[in-house]
Amino acid sequence: MPESYQNFIGGKWVPARSGETFESRNPANTDDVIGTFPRSREEDVVAAIDAAHAAFPGWRRTPAPLRADVVRRVGQLLAEHKDELARLETREMGKVPEEGAGDVQEGIDMAEYIAGEGRRMFGETVPSELRDKFALTARQPVGVVGLITPWNFPIAIPTWKIFPALVCGNTIIFKPAEDTPACAARLVALCEEAGLPAGVLNMVTGYGPEAGAPIVEDERVRMISFTGSSVVGREIASRAGRSLKKTMLELGGKNAMVVMPDANLELALEGALWGAFGTTGQRCTATSRIIVHKDVLDTFTKRLIDQARKLRVGYGLDEGVQMGPLINEQQLQTVEKYVNIGKQEGAKLLLGGHALSEGQYAGGYFFEPTIFGNVNYRMRIAQEEIFGPVVAIMPVSSYEEAIKVANSTEYGLSSSIYTSDVNTAFRAVHELEAGITYVNAPTIGAEIQLPFGGLKATGNGHREAGTSAIKEFTEIKSVYVDYSGKLQRAQIDVEHHSV
Ligand code: NAP
């Protein structure tokens, strides 16, 4: 019997008002049902926003160091349950347990980092132009915030939003991805266990248009923090814009790795393999384009094919598996579609290109590690996010051409360059149009103490994590304290002052 999960509203675990449910299944074996979950709709969302709204005055008055204490405890609980959660991730979304543990560790790191902000959350104190006047800024919570998350980092991404939102004094309505509601429910249960007051964090599970869209529409929600595809992000931004909500969008990527002739090729190959096929290519920062200088193209390509061919694909809980399945049927179809597009466009299929469905792969959404060669920057497989184990090798003749090709997509999340020339490395840091640049490392591997996000169609100018997290989840209050005992007029009285 699959476990029956509930929504978390006002400190209680409750079903959807309609009583309807949906299932979460193991993408490596769809006979394995992880649980049933409330199929929430507007009425459930409204109940959750009511609870968040009611809890806000009490939570905003709770001193920030005490709010941070709760987050610190959640971090400790995540550490205690790390292995269990990593295995749940493997079962629910397919990444291998080692990567699942890394995902949980990001949540632990975020708790540790952001709990410290409970005793910082700096404002500014600046001089006033007038005598006997004090000028400063203070950070205040935004209010009720709506957090909508994808399935590919089912613990980490929710913690990047929930933890800073809590420390800053906001109350929350959280809608996790329909593909990973069990991971989300475990995280919320740990927040409850850590002592979070009722109504401060509320979760509704369900489908985007039914359980996500009403959060965006509700006037009482003052901010949306969304991570997901650029298509849905655009829709959310335009809807949230009508009620002038603060809207933070972290969207897709088409991340490039540049390999120069002076690169340490061993290192570049290791990075390419991890960047392209880690998490089955289903990372927003996955390396989906490898831009290789023609001087090392043949060697690099041949060796990448050899190494990718050896990757062990399978169910992550089986011994020695390095790459798990895709998340669902739709994603499998998308990857197949792009492989066909690549072939039609004239790219050379060098490895893979097929779904795996026989034997151990029956009942799962498995796909071979796939490499295309001879890819031109105009091709759709070089422009559009595929979100699977497909990488495009793009030959170039110079550094200048490499940068031009790297910057030729609508996205701008992550980027990387392999070179042993410090001048080339620093030029690339300046010239790659991306929110993140790695030197001599693949496009994946962000640490939570630096801001995370991208340019162009990857977002709308916001950044998660690092010091940005506090900025995003607070409003700035500018405060003037006049202790002169008389009316002083800024800009007007100032020129009459003698020094
Ligand atoms: P998605 O389809 O855009 O969904 C993201 C979330 O939005 C899910 O919870 C989804 O619910 C919900 N949603 C869908 N339609 C909605 C609507 N009309 N109103 C409100 N919410 C709605 O993305 P995904 O497939 O889960 O994730 C993959 C994408 O995320 C990729 O493009 C990847 O690059 C991006 N991503 C970006 C970052 C980053 O930080 N830049 C990090 C990770 C992933 P359902 O689950 O029910 O569809």
Mean pLDDT of 333-342: 98
> Model confidence at 493, in pLDDT bands (50, 70, 90)?
confident
Q: What is the model's pLDDT at position 73? A: 98
21: nearest Cα among 46, 3, 9:
3
Give the residue range(s) of CATH 3.40.309.10 domains in the chain. 255-439
Q: Give the whole-angstrom CA distance, residue 399 versus residue 383.
A: 20
Residues 154, 183: contact at Cβ < 8 Å? yes
Q: What angle in degrees, to the nearest 10, is found between the helix axes of 64-80 and 97-117?
A: 160
Domain range 255-439, CATH class: alpha beta
Write the pLDDT tens digit of every residue in 255-282: 999 999 999 999 999 999 999 999 999 9
Work out the percent of the chain whose per-residue pLDDT is above 70.
Answer: 99
CA distances from 266 to 262, 274, 292, 310, 416 (A): 12, 13, 14, 16, 15
Mean pLDDT of 91-98: 97
Give the residue range(s) of CATH 3.40.605.10 domains in the chain. 3-251+459-478
Write the pLDDT tens digit of every residue in 348-368: 999 999 999 999 999 999 999
Q: What is the model's pLDDT at position 190? A: 98
Write the pLDDT tens digit of every residue in 440-460: 999 999 999 999 999 999 999
- CA 135 – ligand 1 centroid, Å: 42
Domain range 3-251+459-478, CATH class: alpha beta
As a whole number of Å, the end-to-end CA separation of the chain is 81
Q: What is the model's pLDDT at position 495? A: 61
Q: Give the whole-angstrom CA distance, residue 239 versus residue 346.
A: 39
pLDDT score of 497 more than 80: no
Q: What is the model's pLDDT at position 2? A: 77
Name the strand (E) or helix (H) holding 9: strand 7-9
Ligand 1, CB within 6 Å, residue ranges:
148-153, 175, 177-179, 207-209, 212-213, 216, 227-229, 232, 235-236, 250-253, 284, 385, 387, 413, 458
pLDDT score of 91 more than 80: yes
Mean pLDDT of 272-293: 97
Locate tokens 């929600």: which residue?
A: 221
CA distances from 124 to 136, 175, 456, 474, 478 (A): 5, 34, 30, 14, 9
> Model confidence at 496, in pLDDT bands (50, 70, 90)?
low
Q: Give the whole-angstrom CA distance, residue 76 versus residue 60.
A: 23
242 CA to centre of own chain: 25
Q: Among 23, 25, 106, 148, which residue has the most ligand 1 atoms within 8 Å of its CB, making it the best to mutate?
A: 148
pLDDT score of 498 more than 90: no
